[in-house]
Structure 1
Amino acid sequence: MKTANLAIVFTDIQGFTERTSRQTLEQNQRLLKVHHDLLTPVFKAFGGRIIKSIGDAFLVTFESPTQAVLGGMAIQDRLWQYNRSVLEAERLDVRVAINVGEVRVESNDVFGEPVNIASRVESIAEAGEVFFTEAVYLAMNKAEVPSQEVGAFELKGIPGKIRVFRVPRAPYRVEVPAVVHVTPGAEAPIPNEQPPFGNLALSRMPASSHAPGGPDLAATAAALGSRAATVGGQLVSHTRTVIESVKAGRRPSALALRKLAIGGGVLALVLGIGFVLRDSPAENAIEAVAEASSSKEKIPLKEKLALVQDAEKLISQEKSPGERAWLHGQLAEALEAPGQAVGFYRSGVKAGHGDSEDRLIELLEHPECSVRVNAADALGNLKLDSARGELEDLAKDGGPGDDPGLFSCDSRKAAKKALERLSR
């Protein structure tokens, strides 16, 4: 019999059983895939070994209790960022519970009371939190991980009371640029909020380990080439449409002219030329963020974070809610977070901001399927009839990365659903 002293981590999705009864099989499978794709890189980055994954639950072991707690913190900060880039129905709220002790190792599984205790602590843990036992508290490096006692609990099947601790919420320090975010469905953006654990752990992960949509500015330059090619191709197409109309003696449609104008502005941003906007201080600050994001030079993270904070400060001084939402959306795109930009533009449309409406419609042609899906959903919820033509095009032709399979993204289907909402 082989034994080992290991940190045992359990995670699960809050309310998962209830959600499965409301969602289709396809939606449930997609939710689990997103959950897996977000958490797995974090476990591995902190040295975790995934023992099993059952439905919405993970059982993971770590040789270091400190790394186990840091991994739990990184998961919650990662999910905090993810939840601000998706609609309310797609949120993932996860509980994390940790214990440490000597366990029996058999094949690809672990057994023993430490495992049972970790499972019981998970049952009392709260979504968004990292709970751990006194055994973890005593064994971990307290200089690296802050802690706060929750209380002593009687756990089912476990003799005596178990003292339980949690990682308290930030502020500690923020070591990676804070991605602009929005709570989906909110009337106005929420500026200057930081992740629950201040990126204390998430900042230690190598850039290659971060899940898609994260805050890594270093990864933006690699994405700009393909994005520029895509936007450039769209711009050529829009230009051709306008020219053909003129040659045929017809007046170009307002839609074609709008696409041409927006496409030119987007291409300017992608190529690092700068924003073709109104040259306000906030817009200049956003342009500086975009240039830092796309720069090939190594710019210190503190400098990049300072640029983001400067832009947010200037945006907060804007009196118009619609203009604030628009600027926050532009800043999100400068940080290569178009999914989060959708939420801002949606708030801008609700405030009657025309540019936000135009950009939200334009995002139906974004090269990332998930962005097109979010944009279509937002336009459908807003019942914007001005988007009908573009939604019809997307419903007919789809876009890059569309795949109607259980685990894939389908913007064509999202556009059809949005059109159904417009017709109600």
Structure 2
Amino acid sequence: MKTANLAIVFTDIQGFTERTSRQTLEENQRLLRTHNDLLAPVFKAFGGRIIKSIGDAFLVTFESPTQAVLSGMAIQDRLWQYNRGVPDAERLDVRVAINVGEVRLESNDVFGEPVNIASRVESIAEAGQVFFTEAVYLAMNKAEVPSQEVGSFELKGIPGKIRVFRVPRAPYRVETPSVVHLPSEPSLENEQPPFGNLALSRVPSSMLAPGPDLAATAAALGSRAATVIQAVKSGRRLSLPPRALAVGGGALVLLLLGIGFVVLRASPVEAAIEEVAEASATQEKLELAEKARKLIAEEKLPGEKNLLLGKLDEALEAPGKAVDHYRVAVKAGNDEAGERLTRMLKHQECRVRSEVATTLGELRLESARGSLEALARNGGPGDEPDALWGLGCNSRKKAEKALERIGR
């Protein structure tokens, strides 16, 4: 058994479950793509290793506790920039929680009490904040990272109280190449990113390259890109500093012209499944599904084949069949199938969430613990709190039983 002393970072989107219930599948997928485009490069810039991304959540490890906290600060400042350029309905408000300790390394995953503690701290963290434990506070370089104690907390399943700290809001500001100044609007000038770009300024602008989503592109160009576009449309004059023009000018021109894009090419089978999901007529869906099945039949690996069949079932709006295929794929060692299953814990239908929770319990999928805990704590649409087994549906109880099988 291999072990290592690592900093563990958990992030998730505030109100994600409620939000996805109001959005279409396409809108949810676009949200998650934007979320990934904004956060993943920042983790990489500070030496983080993304262990898994499950729906709206990231689990990332760092060798340095200081770098872990700095990445959280940079993420919050980057999201601050992004949120200023999009409507309220498209905001991304993320929580960051960090712990450090000796963990077990198994099959590209991490296990142990430090992981559990980080997950519990995430549940009490606030959106827009970076929370971390006393273990991180004692191990990090305090000259690089300011800190403020939040308090001591009793966390479920963790013996004793855990002292929790956070990074305080910054009274200072460090400029980054992506920031576009608008001197004509002093009210905007007085607003500050939450952590003053102290960490974000260390990230090379080349690592924050625009992604396929236009809103993410605006975020990469800086906090004012959307305002610049609006100003140009209204004919208002702007004064841009040379550095902003040098770094983002070309991309900004593309953005203003509305032609900035990146072409993403999916595999033939993934593209076929996407066509099924987008089709509206039943007959068309069935014909496209048959085409997708023929492509999937060429896949030799059982794990990959069942993963693709599960995705096709989801596109056909047959979640029960998808769960069965994902179960087989997980048993064959396919990690993505486990992630897809875990994501289905947020399904709108109680019976689907219940079946998924039961399956995750049977598989004893440790990576699903955090999502199962969230379902056990909050329940979901259609849950009947007093439902008895066989009468009504209560996915919260199913999640509790799954956690018992996994081992709290």
- The TM-score range, normalised by the shorter chain, is 0.5 to 0.7
Q: Is the 8 A contact 2:103 2:111 kept in 1?
A: yes
Runs of 4+ with deviation above 4 angstroms: 214-217, 332-335, 400-403
Distance 1:338 1:161 in 2: 53
| 1:375-403 CA distance string (max 9 Å, x none) | xxxxxxxxxxxxxxxxxxxxxxxxx9799
Partner of 2:25: 25
Partner of 1:203: 201
Q: What pairs with 1:164-203 in structure 2 (closer than 5 Å)?
A: 164-176=164-176, 179=179, 190-203=188-201
Distance 1:211 1:129 in 2: 24
Q: What pairs with 1:279-294 in structure 2 (closer than 5 Å)?
A: 283=237, 286-287=238-239, 289=241, 291-294=242-245
Partner of 2:135: 135
Q: What secondary structure sits across from 1:196 in the alignment? A: coil
Q: Is the 8 A contact 2:180 2:244 kept in 1?
A: no
Q: CA deviation at 1:115?
A: 0.3
Q: CA deviation at 1:172?
A: 3.3
Q: Is the 8 A contact 1:11 1:59 kept in 2?
A: yes
Q: What pairs with 1:5-404 in structure 2 (closer than 5 Å)?
A: 5-176=5-176, 179=179, 190-212=188-210, 213-214=218-219, 283=237, 286-287=238-239, 289=241, 291-295=242-246, 336=252, 366-368=258-260
Distance 2:206 2:177 in 1: 16
Distance 2:240 2:158 in 1: 57
Q: What secondary structure sits across from 1:128 in the alignment? A: coil
Q: Look up the equivalent residue of 1:59 and give its one-letter code.
A: L
Q: CA deviation at 1:107?
A: 1.2
Cα distance change, pair 288–16 in 1 and its aligned pair in 2 (3 A): closer
Q: Look up the equivalent residue of 1:165 and give its one-letter code.
A: F
Q: Look up the equivalent residue of 1:53 and give its one-letter code.
A: S
Partner of 2:350: none
Q: What secondary structure sits across from 2:189 in the alignment? A: coil
Gaps of 5+ in 1: 183-187, 221-261, 267-276, 297-331, 340-362, 370-399, 408-424
| 1:171-214 CA distance string (max 9 Å, x none) | 233132573599xxxxx963321110000000011121114335
When the two chains are superposed, the root-mean-square deviation of aligned CA atoms in Å is 3.6
Q: Is the 8 A contact 1:368 1:401 kept in 2?
A: no
Q: What secondary structure sits across from 1:190 in the alignment? A: helix
| 1:147-187 CA distance string (max 9 Å, x none) | 000000000000000000000001233132573599xxxxx
Gaps of 5+ in 2: 211-217, 226-230, 266-270, 275-408
Q: Is the 8 A contact 1:38 1:211 kept in 2?
A: no
Distance 2:133 2:196 in 1: 22
Cα distance change, pair 127–144 in 1 and its aligned pair in 2 (3 A): same
Q: Look up the equivalent residue of 2:146 and give its one-letter code.
A: P
Cα distance change, pair 29–215 in 1 and its aligned pair in 2 (3 A): closer
Cα distance change, pair 108–401 in 1 and its aligned pair in 2 (3 A): closer
Q: Is the 8 A contact 1:180 1:191 kept in 2?
A: no
User: Number of aligned pairs?
Assistant: 251
Q: Is the 8 A contact 1:99 1:135 kept in 2?
A: yes
Distance 2:243 2:139 in 1: 41
Bigger radius of gyration: 1
Cα distance change, pair 165–82 in 1 and its aligned pair in 2 (3 A): same
Q: Look up the equivalent residue of 2:260 and give its one-letter code.
A: E
Distance 1:31 1:294 in 2: 29
Distance 1:26 1:181 in 2: 34
Q: Look up the equivalent residue of 1:367 and give its one-letter code.
A: I
**What percentage of aligned pairs have identical amino acids?**
74
| 1:252-293 CA distance string (max 9 Å, x none) | xxxxxxxxxx9xx99xxxxxxxxxx89xxxx5xx4462x444
| 1:208-245 CA distance string (max 9 Å, x none) | 1114335669xx9xxxxxxxxxxxxxxxxxxxxxxxxx
Q: Is the 8 A contact 2:9 2:68 kept in 1?
A: yes
Distance 1:140 1:123 in 2: 22
Q: CA deviation at 1:93?
A: 0.3
Q: CA deviation at 1:56?
A: 0.4
TM-score when scaled to structure 2?
0.55
Distance 1:28 1:210 in 2: 22
Q: CA deviation at 1:295?
A: 4.8
Q: CA deviation at 1:366?
A: 2.4
Q: Is the 8 A contact 1:287 1:334 kept in 2?
A: no
